[in-house]
Amino acid sequence: MNLLFDVHLDLSMNALEWNRDLTMTLSEVRELEAGMSDMKGRGMNTVTLDEMRTAGAGLCVATQIGGCMKPAGPVASWESPSQAWAMTQGQRAYYETLSEMGEMAPIRNLTELDAHLELWSDPVSAAEDKAPVGYILSLEGADSIVTIDYLEKAWEYGLRAIGPAHYGIGRYAFGHDKEGNLPENGKELVRKMDELGIILDVTHLSDDCFYDALDIYEGTVWASHSNCRALVDDPRQFDDEQIKLLIGRGAVLGSVFDAWMMKPGWTRGESTPDSVGVKLEDILDHIDHICQIAGNANHVGVGSDLDGGFGLEQSPMDIDSIADLQRLHGMLADRGFSEEDIAGFFHGNFLRLVREAWA
| 58-73: pLDDT as tens digits | 999 999 999 999 998 8
pLDDT given at position 78? 95
CB 305 within 8 A of CB 60: no
User: For residue range 81-112, what is the model confidence (pLDDT) as tens digits?
Assistant: 999 999 999 999 999 999 999 999 999 999 99
Question: In 3-state terms, the chain is what percent helix, strand and coil (to 5)?
Answer: 45, 15, 45
CA angle 131-63-289, nearest 5°?
95
Residue 309 near residue 257 (C-beta atoms within 8 A) = no
Domain range enclosing 110: 5-358
- Name the 3-class secondary structure at 110: helix
CA–CA gap between residue 7 and residue 59 (Å, rounded): 8
* Bond before 71 cis per omega within 30 degrees: yes
* Three-state SS at 333: helix
**Positive or negative: CA dihedral 125, 126, 127, 129:** positive
- Residue 262: predicted pLDDT: 98
Supply the pLDDT for residue 250.
98
Q: Which pTM was predicted?
A: 0.97
Give residue 39's pLDDT: 87
Let me know how long the chain is. 359
pLDDT at 75: 82
Taking residues 279-292, report their average pLDDT: 98
Q: Which contiguous run of DSSP H or E holds residue 207?
A: helix 207-216
Average pLDDT, the chain: 97
Domain count for the chain: 1
In percent, the amount of the chain with pLDDT more than 70 equals 100
**What type of residue is 44?**
M
pLDDT, tens digit, 9 for 90 and up, residues 151-174: 999 999 999 999 999 999 999 999
Domain of 249: which CATH number? Answer: 3.20.20.140
Is the pLDDT assigned to residue 74 strictly greater than 80? no
pLDDT, tens digit, for every residue of 8-45?
Answer: 999 999 999 999 999 999 999 999 999 999 988 999 99
- For residue 268, what pLDDT band results from cuts at 50, 70 and 90? confident
pLDDT exceeds 90 at position 76: no
- pLDDT of 291 reads 98
